Structure 1
Amino acid sequence: MTNSTEFAALVGSRICHDLISPVGAIGNGLELMGMTGASNGPELELISESVENANARIRFFRIAFGAPGEGQMVGASEIRSVLSAMSKGARFQTEWTENGDVNRPVLRMVFLAILCAETALTYGGTLTVRNSAGEWVLDGRAHKIRVEPTLWEPLSVLRAPADITPAHVQFGLLPLVAQETGYKISFDSRDDQLTLRLQKLS
């Protein structure tokens, strides 16, 4: 029987699957219009940027919320491509320092953690993701870090917050996915820094 996280992942996969084709088709149409000179100017540029951003978000969400394939690995170049596209026009930049392939279920957990960190970097900044001896470390730096205790504190005990809004669904999924993949979560924050750790249980 499908559990709650698997069911949520199937829903996520279905949504991303159904959206990626029409968004991609819009992008192809805009590219053809630009090549033929049928339309140009700031309007077309704005639409093109919006389509590019939508494509990037869908690719990211497909990993973060979609169903991971058994034994599937994702290459560093693909991960960087997704994160680079996501960072365009965003208030903060994500730097991926790992060069090896990453197991898809583990990457799903890390991407959910990135979404959690994003809520603390609402004023901009940088987020560096690295792996050290089986521990994933997300290091956020900004002029101002904003951490909501009701969202963050339950992560340390692998629990979902009591009340979750659609904008914070990642805080509900991350502890469940961490449990399934055999990780524990810890974090530390200061006025200008956030460190989120995903440590493999022995």
Structure 2
Amino acid sequence: MGQSNVNLAALIGSRICHDLISPIGAINNGLELLGMSDDRESPEIDLITESVENASARIRFFRIAFGAPSNTLMGRSEVITILRDVTSGGRMTVAYGPMDDQPRWAVRLVFLAVLCLETSMPYGGRIEASCASGKWTITGHAPKTNADPALWAVLSGAEPDGLAPAHVQFALLPAVADDAKRPVTCDASENTLTIRF
């Protein structure tokens, strides 16, 4: 995937996320108003509220993962909030290590790596993201992993033939990392998965 295609895909991702976050925010505002009424204990309202919160969290996450990269710095609290919200109620937790601000393009790579690990950890688990001397290590720990060899080969540079839409992160991560001059390496075992860049 050439750099121009990666940039175009990122702009499309940014546009979609930007256009979706506004109506979802409006729905959430409407739910807050309904919550102030006498019928605030309605299970239907609770279900809709939970769904809107989940959708909002996914869009904020996708806006970073699939959106346009930049050198803008992202604070630790913002990254942790996005990761917490997107994994809330699920079987996956993400521990984000860096204490200092990180450029958005680096956080983008982290989020893409998280998506790759999440795909390969169907029973849930814990993902840890750390950075030492500018080198990132994203490690997934799970009772049992399911790392598809064909997908993990794409991370190492194999052609992404017949890639399903749910697996686009496996092709995008090495392409984006290559643009940042950061080769991707990965290891997979029964209980641990690691991606480095």
Superposition TM-score, scaled by structure 1 size: 0.92
CA offset at residue 43 of structure 1? 1.5
Partners of 2:139 and 2:113 in 1: CA distance: 11
Contact 1:160 1:175 in 2 (8 A): no
- In the alignment, structure 2 segments of 5+ residues that lack a partner are none
Q: Are 2:61 and 1:60 aligned? A: yes
Query: In the superposition, relative to structure 1, how do residues 160 and 28 fare at CA in structure 2: closer, same or farther (>3 Å)?
Result: farther
Show the counterpart of 1:74. 74
Q: CA deviation at 1:194?
A: 1.0
Q: Could you tell me which residue of structure 2 aligns to residue 184 of structure 1?
A: 183
1:131-175 Cα distance to aligned partner (Å, 9 max, x none): 112211111111100000111013123x44222111001111111
**Residue range with higher mean Cα deviation, 76-85 or 90-99:** 90-99
**1:27 maps onto 2:50 in alignment:** no
Contact 1:5 1:176 in 2 (8 A): yes
Aligned to 1:164: 163
Greater alpha carbon shift after TM alignment, 182-191 vs 159-168: 159-168
Structure 1 runs (4+) greater than 4 angstroms displaced: none
3-state SS of paired residue (1:161)? coil
Superposition deviation, residue 40 in structure 1:
2.6
| Length, aligned pairs only | 195
Pairing 1:10–2:17 present = no
- Give the TM-score taking structure 2 as reference length: 0.94
Counterpart in 2 of 1:128?
128
Query: Cα distance 1:126–1:176, how it changes in 2: closer, same or farther (>3 A)?
Result: same
Report the AA paired with residue 148 of structure 1: D
CA distance in 1, matches of 2:69, 2:124: 30
